[in-house]
Chains A and B, each alone.
Chain A
Amino acid sequence: MTTRSGDRRFLAQFKDANVIRLIFVTIIVFVIMSLLRPQLFLTARNFRSMGYQLAELGFYSMAMMMTMVSGGIDLSIIAISNFSGIAAAFILRAAALNGAAGFTLLLYGLLAVGVALLIGILCGLLNGLIISRLRIPAMLVTLGTMNLFTGLAIILTKGKSVSGFPSQVLYLGNNTLLGLPIPLWFLIGGLIVTSILLERTSYGFELKFVGQNPIASLFTGMNNEKILAKTYVYSGILSAIVGLIVLTRTNSAKADFGQNYLFQAILCSVLGATNPDGGYGKVTCLTLALISLQFLSSGFNMLRLGGYHKEFAWGVLLLAVLTYNFIRERRMQRTGAARAKS
């Protein structure tokens, strides 16, 4: 066997047609926006602000991608992150009221993070168990739990936002480290972890198999239930992390924060070549899709597109991507299916 160097492996993925296509999309969007609003778009300030926003959509899109690879979907991501964010917010507000500082504040902080993550895990586990054990479609289950978690959050807060945290909390969400916004560092870490999970663990390998054909996976001796449960737990953890990031960025937590992200996360995941029928997903593609969507979104703001126009644009884009994928898939299957039939 010849040894394959790391460089070549890195380059190899650019042979993937999806990656090349997405690089083109990203460049085209970038060029168009730069030409339309050069004085606003091509500024350091704009890029920094995009960096802050990227993290939230990025984590949501990862959660969406993972559940889509498993052949499902998670509509409860926003609800989970608001719910866990609110729990953390209560703890941090208590810290501020008690005037905690130094080591005590750190303990409060760790507790807040721990509770938020635990809520994310439990919510994900609930989704995963219902989907895998009762075999109810993920779309219905997570639509139900979305309302359940949002409802719980509203009851806990009586619909008001929770705020008033120690000032140190805000620092995390609104400052840079080595020139990059701190939330962006979290996102980079999250992308690396997700990529390792998908490409380098037996869990990721089996996830793609279960997503493509759960029956054949069962006959191959894979534990479908466990794999699905793990996936929704991971989705819950990613959502809880967004809850914490939002908290540090906006200095508040609210039961109905960021509803628009749900649609954008689906869009980003599908644009990033994830197969919504399950079986395929790639972090490189997702990252490129994320960047091009962020360019678009910032561009829309600079073009002073109103909220309704933006929704309209996102909707058109999602349908266009799905249609494109459908046509491409069908063309590929025509050549393949004929062979399989003989």
Chain B
Amino acid sequence: MKKIVELKNVVKTFSGAVALDGMNLTIYEREIRCLIGENGCGKSTMIKGISGYHKFDSGELIINGKHYQNITPREAMDEGIQVIYQDFALFPNMTVAENIMMIDSTTQNRRLVNWKKMKEEARRTLERIKFDIDVDKYVADLNVAEKQMVAISRAIAQEAKLLIMDEPTSALTNAEVEKLFDVVRELKKNGVSVLFVTHKLDEVIRVSDSITVMRNGKNVYESNENTLSKEDMIYYMTGKRLSEQRSEDVKREGVPVLEVRNYNLDGAFKNVNFSLYKGEILGISGLMGCGKDRLAKALFGIEPASSGEVLINGKPIGLIRRVQDALDHNIGYVPEDRLTEGLHMDHTIADNAIARIIKQLRGKYSLLSKEVVRDKQDETLSMVRITGLRRDNPVRTLSGGNQQKVVLVKWLAANPDILILNAPTVGVDVGAKSEIHDIVRDLAKRGVSTIVISDDIPEVVQVCQRVLIMENGEIASEHLVKDITIEQLEAMISGKNKMVDAQ
């Protein structure tokens, strides 16, 4: 079989941090290869290297038999390599036809647009993946699955020979995933290879011809067959036989620390009711767009709910309308996007760590003393282990996992009673992830009540004691984690077989 892309012993570092450490990969013509690996194992870096956005430090990149030292995005496209990122990179203010044909018309430097021909070609492209949609519709009006199909069509319109799909199913319902698989198989028939990047193991078994597993920047398993068992996949991904570590269950007695009643926000969530007990770790999970993210923001007062009630230790406090309301009741919030919401990237690690509690450090005449501030910074930073810590460096110089620990520590310093963690380990490497999980479990033991918003199911199962599943803005079901498995939970979230009640 003809090789389309070949990587040999590729290395990529970012100022000393190793992202790829001798990675090998071969993709053949007409194959669906699944690439699996945990967050932070180097998958994205590798994809960006193949498509020309990163330059590999060393190693060989061979595309269609040609050696490339320093491939540009343009060259990668000319070789037929197309990447579909999670956000699809479409133009929402343009129509389906315009999006599909965009590159075509811009790169040929034509000044005039032949609308009729453009629409026809767009339609023809859509037919090739058997997808039926009005080409005059604006992309902004499409749902996630439809947008994805448009992105795939755009790639095909550019004569893709290899389609790289980065976590393509993370926002899809089960029926939509099936449709995507049909399209992928159709593409293969048309002579296109697909590199399917995912961490959902069931999908790997169902769709792949061949499998590559990555860990810590290199391939630890590579096969041209689809024969790997799920247990072995996990073993190769994590390097451990999964001794399912879980949090000990707690007693849910007495007055809940937090009770949310009939919480509503138009277009985001409706009739949300739940309780959180002292020392409990409650997971809230669901598909992208199910409302869990906006519920979290509403509970911290960033984007307040429109109606409902919150009770803290049994006392009704009405709605949480502003961040100050949340702070008054000692609620902390670790945001999803640490780059824009979590940290002040240009300020020092030490200053970020005490940003929440700076007011408490005021002394005589309300002034800050350098010594007091410095001691508190050191004390705060010593609560977690941050590798390569130089306290007076900008926090931007840290890796994702270490940055996330700084965000955590910033809130730990304030001793919250209730801590909301929104996607606490997205983009965090494996080691830091388990450390963050340990920190959360430890906090719970010390009596902090925690809500973990996450769509990382293994994480929910390992950290939480109870989990709420949200669907279309409502809480669809509630489960005790000790009674279910990762597979059952994954199935429920993607809507395969709804279990009535696992309790």
* A interface residues (Cβ-Cβ under 8 A, vs B): 1, 3-4, 9, 196, 200-202, 205-206, 208-209, 212-213, 215-223, 279-280, 335-342
Contacts and interface: CB of A to CB of B under 8 A. Distances in A.
B344 A279 contact: yes
A206 B19 contact: no
Interface stretch (B101-109, B202-210, B250-258, B355-363): B355-363
21 contacts: A1-B375, A4-B371, A201-B362, A206-B355, A209-B347, A209-B351, A216-B344, A218-B302, A218-B323, A219-B341, A221-B324, A279-B346, A338-B15, A339-B398, A340-B398, A341-B14, A342-B13, A342-B15, A342-B17, A342-B19, A342-B45
A14 to B, nearest CB: 16
A277 to B, nearest CB: 9
B458 interface: no
Contacts of B400: 340, 342
Nearest to A208: B347
A201 B343 contact: no
A209 B344 contact: yes
A3 B375 CA distance: 11
Contacts of B484: none
Contacts of B327: 221
Contacts of B403: 340
Contact of A339 (B355, B359, B399): B399
Contacts of A223: 324
Interface of B: 13-17, 19, 45, 300, 302, 323-324, 326-327, 333, 335, 339-347, 351, 355-356, 358-359, 361-362, 366-368, 370-371, 375, 394, 396-400, 403, 410
Nearest to A210: B344
A341 B344 CA distance: 16
A270 B410 CA distance: 31
Given A1-B375, A202-B359, A208-B347, A336 B341 contact: no
A213 B324 contact: no
A219 B368 contact: no
A4 B372 CA distance: 12
A338 B14 contact: yes
B326 to A, nearest CB: 8
B370 A219 contact: no
B14 A339 contact: yes
B19 A212 contact: no
Contacts of A217: 344
B427 to A, nearest CB: 10
Top 7 A-B residue pairs of the complex, sorted by shortest distance between their CB atoms: A342-B14, A339-B15, A342-B17, A219-B341, A202-B358, A200-B367, A202-B359
B347 A212 contact: yes
A9 B302 contact: no
Given A1-B375, A340-B339, 8 more contacts: A200-B368, A201-B366, A205-B355, A206-B358, A215-B340, A221-B323, A336-B394, A339-B396
Contacts of A1: 371, 375
Contacts of A3: 371
A222 B358 CA distance: 10
A215 B324 contact: no
Given A337-B396, A339-B14, A201 B410 contact: no
Nearest to B13: A342
A336 B478 CA distance: 43
A30 B19 CA distance: 51
Which residue among B45, B368, B399 has the maximum number of chain A CB atoms within 10 Å of its CB?
Answer: B368
B173 to A, nearest CB: 31
Contacts of A342: 13-15, 17, 19, 45, 399-400
B368 A205 contact: yes
